[in-house]
Amino acid sequence: MRPTALITGAGRGLGAAIARALAPTHDLLVGGRRPESLDAIVEEIPEATPWPVDLLDHDAVAVAAEGIERLDVLVHNAGLAELGTVAESPAGRWRLMMEANVVAVAELTRLLLPVLRASNGHVVLINSGAGIRANPGWGAYAASKFALRAFGDALRLEEPSLRVTSVHPGRIDTDMQRAIVATEGREYDPTRFLKPETVARAVQQTILTPADAHPTEIVLRPWSPPGGNSER
């Protein structure tokens, strides 16, 4: 039987690229906020099962998670980024970043722990370079990603039957990055950033790592040979 993977935020951006990378080897549940978010990816991968739920609605998440009876891989990819200096960031922004990037992840993991334990499953946390270093204007987002890293570290030690991998990519060419660059008032040049397919390939390799190894942390920075323009 093929292994099953749930990817949150799989309707676009990095999550859709991870779905494409895992489709040849895994039965997929593809998560998105609303059913319409998933139309395109399900058209592209018709074998995938849509799993639409707003991850901030914990009651709805509990109902959606009840229907999952088997799970080998849980990729927490869905996330939000709102930038602003500390001076510009009211409490609501800090709360939203923590709710979307940490609390929602912790709650979905908790609900799915029984099925993950049963399969000696793999939890992949899509973190960020911001989960390792906080730059000016990135405080609330970085704090949420630092917290996500702490969540992963605790989960890895508490649940020895699971593998838990924290993935820390630099800037990726997605809708999220377009919005960030617009906030920064810069011109968008996709060639400066990681391609979603490249990050997805690293996630795929992590998941396909044979069971005698535990990939705990993956860090990917944009790179190009000297003369290129990638944002290192």
Ligand X SMILES: NC(=O)c1ccc[n+]([C@@H]2O[C@H](COP(=O)([O-])OP(=O)(O)OC[C@H]3O[C@@H](n4cnc5c(N)ncnc54)[C@H](OP(=O)(O)O)[C@@H]3O)[C@@H](O)[C@H]2O)c1
CB of residue 122 to ligand X, shortest distance in Å:
17
112 lies in the site for ligand X, by CB under 6 A: no
Number of CB atoms found within 10 A of residue 70's CB: 13
CB of residue 130 to ligand X, shortest distance in Å:
7
End-to-end distance of the chain based on CA atoms, in angstroms? 41
Q: Which residues of 188-197 are buried (b: 16+ CB within 10 A; e: fewer)?
A: eeeebbbbbb
Q: Figure out which of the listed residues 6, 7, 13, 206 binds ligand X, where binding follows CB under 6 A.
A: 13
**Separation in Å, CA 149 to CA 71, 143, 155, 158, 227:** 22, 10, 10, 14, 34
Listed as own residue / partner, the contacts of 24-32 with beta carbons closer than 8 Å and 24 or more positions apart are: 25/208, 26/2, 26/72, 26/73, 26/207, 27/2, 27/3, 28/4, 29/4, 29/5, 29/68, 31/6, 31/7, 31/55, 31/78
20 lies in the site for ligand X, by CB under 6 A: no
77 lies in the site for ligand X, by CB under 6 A: yes
Stretch that binds ligand X, among 84-92, 170-178, 202-210, 224-232 (CB under 6 A): 170-178
Q: Figure out which of the listed residues 28, 48, 78, 147 binds ligand X, where binding follows CB under 6 A.
A: 78
Stretch that binds ligand X, among 20-28, 85-93, 106-114, 165-173 (CB under 6 A): 165-173
Residue bearing tokens 């617009």: 182
15 lies in the site for ligand X, by CB under 6 A: yes
CB of residue 108 to ligand X, shortest distance in Å:
10
Residue type (1 letter), 1: M
* 141 catalytic residue (yes or no): yes
Report the alpha-carbon distance of residue 124 to residue 115 in Å, rounded.
15
| Strand pairing category for 73-76 and 4-7 | parallel
Size of the site for ligand X (CB under 6 A): 29
Q: Cβ(81)–Cβ(141) under 8 Å? A: yes
Q: Figure out which of the listed residues 55, 74, 97, 115 binds ligand X, where binding follows CB under 6 A.
A: 55
User: In the stretch 180-209, what mask flags binding to ligand X with x, by CB under 6 A?
Assistant: ------------------------------
Catalytic one of 141, 146, 151, 193? 141
177 lies in the site for ligand X, by CB under 6 A: yes
Name the residues annotated as catalytic: 141
Instruction: Kindly list the residues in this chain that would bind ligand X in the complex (CB under 6 A).
Output: 8-9, 11-15, 32-34, 37, 54-56, 77-81, 100, 126, 128, 169, 171-172, 174-177
